[in-house]
Amino acid sequence: MKGKAIFALPDGNEVWAVLAAMDEGDGAVFLPQERDMAPDVRTSTGYAEIKTPKSIRKVADRLKHASEQLAEYGNPDGDVYLSLLRFKFEEQAAIDVAQRFVDDGTIKSIRVIHGDGAVETLKKTI
């Protein structure tokens, strides 16, 4: 970092993903990135992490990192947003990967923002 602050630089897709998935009356503040493990956003309900992978190969890595970031900040049950707005294909494959993270308890729930803007919340199925 060499003495300068690194801030979250949410692109339009990330901002839209959070706003689309928030509940009525929620607030969101994008946080300065003081270190690699800082989550992206503080909402009315706690910390949240946004992941916007561009390929199916990155989904599992991004979700694992999200769970580690939230745990580092003492909020392991924080919100995770998985934006599929950059995906062109393989949405269902990405959802299947995300569902495994929820089912094994790594992440409590994941809000998926589909390419068409629809929002779906994944919860434990088993």
Nearest to 95 by CA among 78, 77, 79, 110: 110
Element (H, E) at 86: none
Report pLDDT for 16. Answer: 67
Output the pTM of the full model.
0.80
Report pLDDT for 92. Answer: 94
The stretch 92-111 carries a mean pLDDT of: 94
Give residue-wise pLDDT tens across range 35-94: 567 787 887 778 888 888 888 989 999 999 999 988 988 888 888 999 888 877 789 999
Q: To the nearest 10°, the Cα dihedral for 100, 108, 40, 115?
A: 50
pLDDT at residue 97 tops 90:
yes
Strand partners, 119: 113
Which of the given ranges, 18-22, 34-38, 114-118, has the highest pLDDT on average? 114-118
Nearest to 12 by CA among 45, 44, 50, 38: 50
pLDDT at residue 34 tops 70:
no
